[in-house]
Structure 1
Amino acid sequence: MKKTLSLIIMAVVAVAVSARDDRRELMQLWYDRPATQWLEALPVGNSHMGAMVYGGTTDETIQLNEETFWSGGPHQNNSTRSLGRLAEVRNLIFNGKEEEAAKLINQDFIVGPHGMRFLPMGHLRMKMDGNDKATDYQRNLQLDRAVAETHFKIDGVNYTRTVFASMTSKVLVVRLTADRKGAINMTATLDAPFDYTTKADGKQITMSVKGCKQEGIDAALTAECVAEIRTDGKVVEKCLNDSCNTANALHVEKASEVTMLLSAATNFVNYHDVSGNAAKRNNEWLNAAEALTYNQLLEQHEKEWKRQFGNVKLTLDADSNALLPTDQRLLHFAESKDMAMVALMFHYGRYLLIASSQEGGQAANLQGVWNDNTHAPWDSKYTININTEMNYWPAEVTNLRSTVGPLFSLIKDLSVTGTTTAKQMYGCRGWMAHHNTDIWRIAGPIDGAQWGMFPNGGAWLTTHLWQHYLYTGNKDFLKQWYPVIKGAAEFYLDYLQPMPGTTWRVAVPSVSPEQGPTGKHTAVTAGCTMDNQIAFDALSNAIQASEVLAIDEPLRQEMKKMRDLLPPMHVGRYAQLQEWLIDADDPHNEHRHISHLYGLYPSNQISPFSHPELFRAAANTLHQRGDMATGWSLGWKVNFWARMLDGNHAFRIIRNMLHLLPSDKLAAQYPEGRTYPNLFDAHPPFQIDGNFGVTAGVAEMLIQSHDGAVHLLPALPDDWTKGSINGLCARGGFEVDMTWNNHQLTQATIHSTIGGMLRLRSAVPLKGKKLRKAKGQCPNMLYAPAVIAKPIVAKRIDEGVDANIPSVYEYDIMTQPGQVVTITAK
């Protein structure tokens, strides 16, 4: 009888899960209690402002950020001594004296400052009169609307608080309503963790927050935040302490609805200009918002949000756990079949990127646009030896080109400051940046030789420009950005040096982030694998861009000659892809950086079809490095295993990421915790790149277009029995919708935006109008595979684990702009 009853209950739950609106399982984070810490609060943002909503009842806190509020002021950190010591450092490295070279680098190359930090601006606090015994509580974040809501009941009155960062009006909107007339009596205040002043005047509170000096760089920025109240009740100025001379709070009496508009700004104009007028900006933005009703503000916000967010949707199966509050759903994910939780994480990554990166704003930093820490981990800077790039991995493939403008703006700025760095520090043409930068666009090295002696940050960033061209085929864009792409490649023409005893040219000094070979006590080296891979991409992209634009023939030939002198990749004694030119990998090393697999992802230099030796070596490296790591590293590993065409292993990494970490204080009790209650990624501590990495990884499991074809469902896990995806993008200007069942593709609809040859790759045979079997190499260069040198393979001691190279079907169809191609499985 018990068993029968249990089956009936399970059946009822299953029907409820399948029958309800999918917003909760796919598009909503929700909780049955208020947040008690920042990592439980819910993020809203419009790039310009970020806010963390705690969802309190009588006491509400909304933590605020303004994207340009950073410590320090305009400065650069280039060494004037490095060029004079460069030859000596190179000689020491070539003679095996890397530790001595590192000492010179620390002394004469890395002179500081070491980058400024992203600052929290303050808090909006709202306190309601009366008791705090609330019932019927729920708070949520609706990803498809970018709206956070809090619902509760006190003394028979239903209250709803709605928060959104307007995508069209630059302001944060907070609205509190009650279903009993005159039931709202509340006080609103602003405060900050730094020196600040507040003044209440009429229906506005204005807060001014002083910036911070750091490492000898004086504070050049001041933030101003203005909160304005609209209500059907009465607004009274208040002084909340005995010492204040002017009112510093606003009290609302007997209201049924209260709407607050918050605007924030600093005097930042750009990385070398701080002459802006924060008060003027706030006045303009508030005046524009004041001309609209609340419903108009919400309607315009939702329309713009859905334009960006609504073009992609992933659907996967849910189980009864999908009915749980999000933190509980995460806690029980490991033993569930709640694949819709993966879809939620996928959508959440897209949500966070839209909310933290919009045209005209700053690029998403190490924490997006959200930070409550006066000294954020790693200053919440732009770490450009992986983390900043990872932030934007989902942008092209998940149809978020609206978010890339701030990244491109950062690259443009660095191409200016980095030109000085290249010339002054290394005597090189072109431009470069090391492993970190900030809002002031420093390009010199920071922290120490072990981390900072990385000359490839600028070149890696420019690959995003080239990829944008591959996805869009936009020659006007390529022409505009060609000087930046060319400049990154020109740097290598001078920086690469002959390696003694070989015909190779190598980057020296350099590091493979952030470790050295076995037996070495420093990461400083010459010609590590990642150097050669990034230099290959930088030179190749510039070569191909000049060919497309039919310009710079002499320079193109110089670049081709230099590219041919790069060392090939090496396969070592443990059948691994070597991280360095010497065979010194430790097969038991599980370091979070797997930098030498850059060639597998995000680059396309390692292919199962054209480079099987490298493909197998990459598989061995991944097995040796293990399946657990910090949060962002797991995000990278999802993409690695997707490129290995191993969906089950990629999903295993996702499962490893979806382990709850309730808070940093409980890290010892949750050693495998990699996701916080609000689904922020845990390094730990919080870094947002892991969120973006897993979103890109899920997309990479469903579509790939880097290796000579548009590969449909290349890495579908067994657990994703059926599902659908709409709106993913492929190189060549294609947008793809797919459905699958019983682990196999059932139908795909491909929209060709620019025309051209479409080559499809699939694990199952396909049929469709005018589809023909492919022959030879695909003529569409927008997704052509990389042409690289044959690898050097050592005599192997251990053959390692072989990689699966699948049999596939390939088809061609010539498309016209606007054409829609529908194919099905045979």
Structure 2
Amino acid sequence: MSVRDGGPRHGIHDTVPAARWEDGFLSGNGEYGLVALGDPAAERLIVNHHRFVLPNGTRHLGPPAVADRLDEVRDLVLAGEAEAAQRAFTDGRRLAWTQPFHPGFVIEVDRSNPPPARDYRRETDFRTGEVSATWTDIGGVWRSRGFVSRADRVLVYELAGPALDLAVRLSGDLPGRPAGVGYSSLTQVGGPRDALLTVRGTYPPGLGAYGFAGITRLVAVDGPVRLDGDVAVVRGASRLLLLTVLDRADGPVDEEPLRERLAALPAEYLTLLRRHTALHTPMYERVELDLGVPADEREQPVGELLAAQRRAEAPTPALLEAMFHAGRYLLISSSGVLPPRLTGLWLGEWGAAWSGDFTTDANLNLQLAGAGIGALPEVVESLGALIADQIDDWRANAEAVFGARGLLAPSRTDGEHGRLFHLDADWPWAMWVAGADWLLFPLVEHWQITGDDEFLADPLAAWLVEAALFFEDFLVREDEHGSLVLVPSYSPEVGPAGSTGAAAVNATMDIAAARHALSAAVEACTRLGIEEASVTRWQTLLKQLPPYVVDSRGALAEWAWPGLVTPDDHRHVSHLYPVWPLHEITPDDTPELAAAAHRALVLRGDENLSAHGSLHRALCAARLKDPGLVEANLGKVLGNDMVFRSLMTSHNPGLDVYNADAAHAIPAVVIEALVDSLPGVVELLPALPGRWARGRVSGVRCRNRVTVAELAWDLEQSTAHVVLRSNVDAAVVVRCPRAVGPFRRGEPVPVAAGERVRLEFALEDDGEET
């Protein structure tokens, strides 16, 4: 946990216990999640599972079968009758929500009449995934520590001290538990120093799954264990080990496999830790950021780190560097069997906002923005697993809603299915046709980064073909100029200014999605030598897509259709999809459209300062090479009391609504400000804020199979260097808009497989560009 060689700190510490679950320190293996809180007298370990969702009757809901109304709906939208179109494009249903994510249970570890404690310190070690606490009392030094094993799928906790006198219990007593959810717990002694503690949860009947179970194996070293009801009592031991596994099922959980898993595990903390870190640590250490933060600032307790930010006018390098490393740690820890939810993988109470689901129109992709470029292919693969499980539902959505082949993705999912049911006459999600392309994009980026043609061939190419087929069937209307018309069309989650409905024509996001879906399918199929006839059809369709529109304010319009006015104040910036993540509009290749996109970004108000809105804006600002706007949008999160003491973030200012959007997206913003890339190009320091005066980043993956092994800069000395490497022979143009000399416009650089290419260049000494 100490600062290594004066470099960045890879963890956080606090000198006070967590006063609430939101400040609890976090560990996870992408399936199980741990929230550690409490104090020396009463430690609490809240246990989560990625697939714990509360049945609410929506499990078997499907999309509206409205394809036979499509021509009527199109006519209504084109006639400006948005509300009537929205009513016609539903089956009269009310808005139904996904099954809400919920916490599992809490492991209560209570000491009997402990003496006062001093020198309390709790830590999270990002490199190992451990959360720990130490303190001292009259008897001596105490230490608790725990992690969730990626290797053995088990939560591991150890408490060591002079003489353990404590009680351990599994409990369902967490805030907000619905009355219909039942809990029971029991404890069985397996030997003089061994016990099994079991908790069972049951859901209201008839709505979906039956319930869940968790089992904890307790092993005490040199001390007896006895039962007191459902409590295991330990007296006089020097060390206690708890191993916990859990599961959920449609019927009563078969607990025997859980007990067998526990029995097969060694009751040795360090052995289990070594197995886990063999997987976790290499993932975490692939990328590092050093913003030249003084050692004394890096060593601050997290409370002081956050207090220093509250006194600052802009994001402090100390907090930003910590958020970068914490964000990657939390993203790794919450990704595996599924990608991260709105709360990552953690929750300490029932009633999660927006069901704690996967909100796919913005939030999920923003959380994953730093996965590919941040050298975490495992995180991208978790998205691929989610899509693979739901792809049949996407096909059914397209058929039911549009009578079309291909894919229509929902705006949200609880992870159990991908059917499009969250809609009503006011929220026309059946009209959002960009979803499949938007959700497939991180997989396309993964292929660009890795060059993995086997992944392209199976499964990606087939999905890209289906995304293109949807638009081939959907694009049947033309305007007076002969351009294809996207109707109905919906820009999440907003309608044209002055309109009483959100149904519209030619949403910029939908145009971008159609163009990218067709282009990606053409590229993939050409690469693999398949679908030749389809490629010809798609190339023709691409030429017929409508152009983007610049409005009277000089801003990229949200809808490319006469009379549809872009609103000034909304948290979403979906119309900037061509900027981020598509690279379709760039300052270098499309300067006029880039200027219009920048104008749109500046004019858009923040609505409620939601975290995902600010980070989405920051990513777009980085692509548009505006470092001041990057920093300003980071400041909207870091400067508005939106960071908990765990460095998890909130959705709104004032620590309102526990939410992983900002925590997971901040590393992506930092990387995009330092390194941008696309096939054939590596761009360095495209949006470097002046306050990041000196620093170093390593391990960034580029969208051309090149890795930035190291990029270092010093604005005071006006110098920079980069080290590039690749596992294949590659040739890229390297450019830096801040450089003096040939690299400013770009220089071709060959990178031979396995070799490291070092380039040095001078930087301008003037202020940052805006």
Identify whether the pair has TM-score above 0.5, normalized to the shorter chain.
yes
- Any idea what the Cα deviations from partners look like across 1:515-547, whole Å, max 9, x if unmatched? 111110221112111110111111111110001
- Any idea what the Cα deviations from partners look like across 1:223-281, whole Å, max 9, x if unmatched? 11111112214343433xxxxxxx311111101111111111123xxxxxx58964244
Unaligned runs of 5+ in 1: 1-18, 240-246, 268-273, 660-671, 768-772, 774-806
Letter in 2 for 1:258: L
Contact 2:224 2:237 in 1 (8 A): no
Letter in 1 for 2:499: K
CA change 1:91–1:76 in 2 (3 A) is: farther
Q: Which residue of 1 aligns with 2:202?
A: 210
**1:332-731 equivalence runs, <5 A:** 332-336=308-312, 338-358=316-336, 361-448=337-424, 449-450=426-427, 452-453=429-430, 454-481=432-459, 482-582=461-561, 589-626=568-605, 629-659=609-639, 672-684=640-652, 685-706=657-678, 708-731=680-703
Contact 2:133 2:143 in 1 (8 A): yes
Contact 1:198 1:248 in 2 (8 A): yes
Q: Which residue of 2 aligns with 1:741?
A: 714
Give 3-state SS (helix, strand or coil) of 2:530's partner: coil
How many angstroms does 1:318 deviate by? 2.3
Letter in 2 for 1:293: E
Distance 1:745 1:559 in 2: 47
**1:187-198 equivalence runs, <5 A:** 187-192=167-172, 193=177, 194-198=181-185
Q: Which residue of 1 aligns with 2:248?
A: 266
Distance 1:534 1:818 in 2: 36
Distance 1:125 1:38 in 2: 13
Give 3-state SS (helix, strand or coil) of 1:717's partner: coil
- Any idea what the Cα deviations from partners look like across 1:343-364, whole Å, max 9, x if unmatched? 1111111111110112xx1221
Contact 1:83 1:426 in 2 (8 A): yes
Distance 1:24 1:760 in 2: 27
Distance 2:363 2:705 in 1: 26
CA change 1:568–1:707 in 2 (3 A) is: farther
Letter in 2 for 1:220: A
CA change 1:325–1:691 in 2 (3 A) is: same
Matched pairs, number = 735
CA change 1:25–1:32 in 2 (3 A) is: farther
How many angstroms does 1:294 deviate by? 1.6
Q: Which residue of 2 aligns with 1:28?
A: 11
**1:780-791 equivalence runs, <5 A:** none
Distance 2:454 2:545 in 1: 31
Contact 1:233 1:252 in 2 (8 A): no
Letter in 2 for 1:206: T
- Any idea what the Cα deviations from partners look like across 1:308-353, whole Å, max 9, x if unmatched? 1011110113255444321331132154584132111111111111
CA change 1:107–1:23 in 2 (3 A) is: farther
Give 3-state SS (helix, strand or coil) of 1:570's partner: coil
Contact 2:94 2:423 in 1 (8 A): no
- Any idea what the Cα deviations from partners look like across 1:392-422, whole Å, max 9, x if unmatched? 1111101111222221011112221111111
How many angstroms does 1:21 deviate by? 4.2
Unaligned runs of 5+ in 2: 190-194, 763-770
How many angstroms does 1:655 deviate by? 2.0
Greater shift in the superposed pair: 72-81 or 599-608:
72-81
Distance 1:159 1:37 in 2: 22
CA change 1:748–1:495 in 2 (3 A) is: same
CA change 1:152–1:556 in 2 (3 A) is: same
Q: From 39, 43, 52, give the equivalent of 1:60.
A: 43
Letter in 1 for 2:27: V
Distance 2:331 2:212 in 1: 24
How many angstroms does 1:88 deviate by? 1.4
Q: Does 1:817 align with 2:759?
A: no
Contact 2:557 2:566 in 1 (8 A): no
Q: Percent identity?
A: 25
**1:78-477 equivalence runs, <5 A:** 78-79=62-63, 81-108=65-92, 113-131=96-114, 133-178=116-161, 180=162, 183-192=163-172, 193=177, 194-202=181-189, 203-212=195-204, 218-239=207-228, 247-267=229-249, 278-290=254-266, 293-319=268-294, 320-336=296-312, 338-358=316-336, 361-448=337-424, 449-450=426-427, 452-453=429-430, 454-477=432-455
Contact 2:64 2:401 in 1 (8 A): yes
- Any idea what the Cα deviations from partners look like across 1:202-231, whole Å, max 9, x if unmatched? 111011111356xxx613142111111122
CA change 1:515–1:132 in 2 (3 A) is: farther
Q: Which residue of 2 aligns with 1:795?
A: none
- Any idea what the Cα deviations from partners look like across 1:617-668, whole Å, max 9, x if unmatched? 1111111124682111111122111111122321222122113xxxxxxxxx
**1:746-761 equivalence runs, <5 A:** 746-761=720-735
CA change 1:304–1:707 in 2 (3 A) is: closer
Distance 1:495 1:77 in 2: 24
How many angstroms does 1:678 deviate by? 2.2
How many angstroms does 1:79 deviate by? 3.9
Letter in 2 for 1:414: Q
CA change 1:111–1:645 in 2 (3 A) is: same
Distance 1:248 1:208 in 2: 12
How many angstroms does 1:501 deviate by? 2.9
CA change 1:588–1:493 in 2 (3 A) is: closer
Distance 2:754 2:649 in 1: 38
Give 3-state SS (helix, strand or coil) of 1:50's partner: strand
Letter in 2 for 1:739: A
Contact 1:317 1:338 in 2 (8 A): no
Letter in 2 for 1:719: R
Distance 1:346 1:92 in 2: 48
Contact 1:450 1:511 in 2 (8 A): no
How many angstroms does 1:675 deviate by? 2.2
Contact 1:391 1:689 in 2 (8 A): yes
Contact 1:64 1:120 in 2 (8 A): yes
How many angstroms does 1:384 deviate by? 1.0
Contact 1:75 1:442 in 2 (8 A): no
CA change 1:157–1:616 in 2 (3 A) is: same
Contact 1:223 1:265 in 2 (8 A): yes
Contact 2:212 2:253 in 1 (8 A): no
How many angstroms does 1:439 deviate by? 1.8
Give 3-state SS (helix, strand or coil) of 1:515's partner: coil
Contact 2:7 2:290 in 1 (8 A): no
How many angstroms does 1:302 deviate by? 2.2
- Any idea what the Cα deviations from partners look like across 1:742-784, whole Å, max 9, x if unmatched? 26552211111222212211235589xxxxx7xxxxxxxxxxx
Distance 2:563 2:284 in 1: 46
TM-score (ref. length: structure 2): 0.91
CA change 1:92–1:588 in 2 (3 A) is: closer
Q: CA RMSD in A?
A: 2.4
Distance 2:126 2:9 in 1: 9
Distance 1:674 1:765 in 2: 35
Give 3-state SS (helix, strand or coil) of 1:394's partner: coil
- Any idea what the Cα deviations from partners look like across 1:19-70, whole Å, max 9, x if unmatched? 9647996322221111111211111100110011114211011111111222
CA change 1:100–1:80 in 2 (3 A) is: closer
Q: Which residue of 1 aligns with 2:767?
A: none
TM-score (ref. length: structure 1): 0.85
Distance 2:261 2:697 in 1: 38
